[in-house]
Every structure is written in C-alpha cells, then in structure tokens.
Chain A
Amino acid sequence: MSDTRRITLRVNGKPHTADVETRVHLADFLRGSLGLTGTHLGCEHGVCGACTIIVDGRAVRSCLMLAVQADGAEIETVESLGAADALSPLQKAFSTHHALQCGFCTPGMLMSLEAFLRANPQPSEADIREAISGNICRCTGYQGIVEAALAAIAAREPTQ
C-alpha cells in the first residue's frame, strides 16, 4: 500500500483536491495529475531550473518539493502567464528577441523572471543575468533572454 495524502491547493487560480502518493514531487503532480505539462523536468536534482514555478509568491524548483507539501498553497505555472493567442508582455518579448529555441527551458525561465521582476522592477542587465543563473539553457546562449527581459521592463508603464 503506498502512502497517500489528500491535498487541496490552488493552481493558476483554480482549486484542486487530489489524493497524492507522498513521494511524488510537485512537478510530477502538476504534469501528471493536473495535466499541466508546461512545467518541465530537466535534471530532477535541482540545478537546471526547467521545473521552476511560483509557490505562494516565490520562485521554487518544483522537483525539490513534494506534492504533499503544496497542500494549501497558491501555485502559478507557466500556463498562467498567457495563452498562445494572448501572450503576456514578457512572453511577447521572448518571441521578439528570439529568447527561445527548443522551448524546453523556457517555462522555467519565464517563471523565474516573472517572480524576479515582481520583486525587482528596475534591475540592471547584471541583475537579470544573476536572476536567470539558476536556469540552464543549451540553445540560446542567454543573450536573447536577457534582451527580452530588458525590453519587457522598458515597455512597462513608468508608474508601475
């Protein structure tokens, strides 16, 4: 008999209740049980950042949290940023500046930047590079991602 617990949590604004095996990590729960496959697994040891999501307002590596630990939590995944036909300014900037190629690291990049920019609205380029230093990209060389982040910031309303 596997060890299971019932959890209730909100994901992208929607409430969910589910019985989860306690050893299942949060990324597998989001992907498998909730079908939110936008969050990706690249290493499952907490280094590559592909699994980054936002939990209770903070960027977190979802492969390093158990699903049971998310009971009562407020979770945001890449699916909350914008639909394919209604992309957020950051997502649009990613496209304009070719900040993605294979797209596998992209959801983690977006969520790291989303969390970071909420707390740091006027970062320097060095700050942005530091902010994404926990997200590995093998395709782009990072320059397009940095340019996209800077462009998204510049495009914001001055009062924000």
Chain B
Amino acid sequence: MSESPVKPAPFTYHDPRSRAELHDLLACLENTKLLAGGQSLMPMLNMRIVAPDHLIDLNRMPGMAGIAVAENHIRIGAMTRQADLHDSAEIGNHLPIMVKALDHVGHFQTRSRGTIGGSCCHLDPAAELPALCALYDAEFDISGPNGARKVTARDWFQDYLQSALAENEVLDSIRLPLWPAGTTYGFSEYARRSGDFAIAGAGVLVAWQNADIIKRLAVVVFGVASQPIRLRAIERDLVGTRLDAEAIRAAADAAKRIEAMSDPYVSSDYRRRLAAVTVERALRAAVQRAEQLA
C-alpha cells in the first residue's frame, strides 16, 4: 500500500434476508467480512486496513435483534443496537450495569448504529460490552453452514481482536445469566475524553448474603490486557467476607498484577495503576448501592 486511502477497496456486497441465505453465503464465499453496525469495520474498510472480496451485510437479517427476558437469563440478539439497549426498560431493570457502561460506549451517534454483536466480535480490548459478557459468564450462540454451537465466555476471547468465531460463522445472540435480586453492581472506567476508548475499566457484580457479606462476587477488568480479565482468585477469596476497605484493597492489588498492554501513549505500569483504581471505584459503588438498598 502506497498512500493514505479513505475509500474502501472494491467488494461484492451481499445483504441476505434469511438464515438459509446467510449460511449459503458463509459456505460458498471466501475472504468475507460480516458488516454489523459498521462503527469499527467501516473505518477499517475506508482506510483499507481490511479489503475483503465480499461484504455480508447483516442489517437486513430478520430475527437478529431483540431483547428476550427469561426467568434466569436475558438473551440479546447480536444485531441489537447499542442505542436500543441503552433505552431499554428490560436492560434497565435486569442489567443496569449495561446502561451505565453504554454511557461510555463511543458517542450517541455511534450507538445509533453500533451493535452488541459487532462489538463482541470485533473485541477491542477496551470495549465495554465484551467486558460485561465476560463479567456475566455469557454464552455466545453461533451458527453457520456446519450447524449451531454455543461458546462460553471463557472460550470466546481467543486473542487480541480475535474471537472464537470461525471464518464461516455468525454470532446470533448472547445469553447473559441473571444474578439474584438484591445484587448490586459497580462500573468505573478512565478515558482521556468523553467517548474515548477506556485506558482501563472495571465492572463488578456483588450478590449479598446478608447486610454486607459477599455471597458471590464477579470482577472484570478491561482495557488493560488484550482481553477482559476476570479476577477469579480474588472473587473466590472474598466470598463470605465483608466488602470493606481491606477487601477492596486486596481486589485492587489483584488488579495491579494483571499483565498489561503497553503502547506509544500509555505504559503497562499506568494501565495496571488504573486497573486498581477502577476496580476500587467499582467496588465502592457496589457497596454504596447496597447501602442504599438496605
């Protein structure tokens, strides 16, 4: 490449209208890219960072968007717009942490088009929605010409910008198991400017035994490593204890031990520092919410 392009290289465009049609395309075509919200893919196409021969647009696919609440989980269609999630009463009731997180996802103009599925397949290390999927141990429903399968959150994050999705597969929906009533959450991220990718962030869920004893804890840190990191050891260690200053410090220290990315703008040391700060702030927020409920 010898210049600074802003117009995509040519491709053949497909906009399937049924699952059968989509699977056929996935079976027959090579060098394809799936187009969801476009907020990550279109810049890459414009700048010719990627140059697929075929672009499969999912925006005309029926049945890929929607929020379905069941007794113990929520299923979100992969093509559900971030703006719709943000405004949804169901998400507000059952996944309030997601509403909070969505305030930080880009800008309202990008949320008009951006989708949860697109974000979870693109897997920017600083993306909030994949981090929440990790936090909830979500399950990813995938289909393709070779059939359907489920991938757990643990297996979904393969590598930097690399999900478990194979070349000829599509993400259909994401299933997030719900936590019991009375669970409180906390969410904190640090970015230089509003809407920027987080330098580091944390989300926590706390289910309470009684007043202030932890029954179950989940802590995810994002933006720090190439994938969202669950602090599973500290999650186990703190069960049955108070979420007091000492516990919070222990969790923050655990966050500081994450192997962090480094780039020309931000060092790994600083990311680790912010991992600790955001974990601490998220935990304190969860405690505060519990105090308000009591």
Contact A64 B108 (CB under 8 A): no
CB contacts (< 8 Å) of B8 on chain A: these are 23, 25
Contact A65 B42 (CB under 8 A): yes
**Binary CB contact string for chain B from 37 to 69 against chain A (1 if under 8 A, 0 otherwise):** 011001101110000000101010000000000
B-facing residues in A33-68 (Cβ within 8 Å): 41, 44-46, 49, 52, 55, 58-61, 63-66, 68
> Nearest Cβ distance between residue A47 and chain B, in whole angstroms?
8
* A59-B42 contact given A3-B11, A69-B57, A133-B195, CB 8 Å threshold: no
> Nearest Cβ distance between residue B4 and chain A, in whole angstroms?
10
Contact B193 A133 (CB under 8 A): yes
Instruction: Tell me if B33 counts as interface (CB < 8 A to partner A).
Output: no
A129 to B, closest residue via Cβ: B194
Contact A22 B42 (CB under 8 A): no
Contact A64 B113 (CB under 8 A): yes
Contact B109 A112 (CB under 8 A): yes
CB contacts (< 8 Å) of B9 on chain A: these are 23
Contact B194 A49 (CB under 8 A): no
Assembled-state Cα–Cα distance A131/B107 (Å): 8
Assembled-state Cα–Cα distance A45/B193 (Å): 17
A-facing residues in B1-58 (Cβ within 8 Å): 6-13, 15, 35, 38-39, 42-43, 45-47, 55, 57
CB contacts (< 8 Å) of B195 on chain A: these are 133-134
Instruction: Tell me if A156 counts as interface (CB < 8 A to partner B).
Output: no
CB contacts (< 8 Å) of B7 on chain A: these are 23, 28
Assembled-state Cα–Cα distance A55/B42 (Å): 17
**Band of interface residues on A:** 20 to 34
**26 A-B pairs whose Cβ atoms sit less than 8 Å apart in the complex:** A3-B11, A3-B12, A21-B10, A22-B11, A22-B12, A23-B7, A23-B45, A28-B7, A44-B46, A44-B47, A45-B47, A46-B110, A49-B107, A55-B112, A58-B83, A59-B108, A61-B113, A63-B42, A65-B42, A66-B13, A66-B38, A69-B38, A69-B57, A115-B108, A116-B108, A134-B195
Interface centre among B6, B15, B43, B107 (most CB of A within 10 A): B107
CB contacts (< 8 Å) of A63 on chain B: these are 42, 46
CB contacts (< 8 Å) of A23 on chain B: these are 7-11, 13, 45
B7 to A, closest residue via Cβ: A23
**Binary CB contact string for chain B from 177 to 195 against chain A (1 if under 8 A, 0 otherwise):** 0000000000000000111
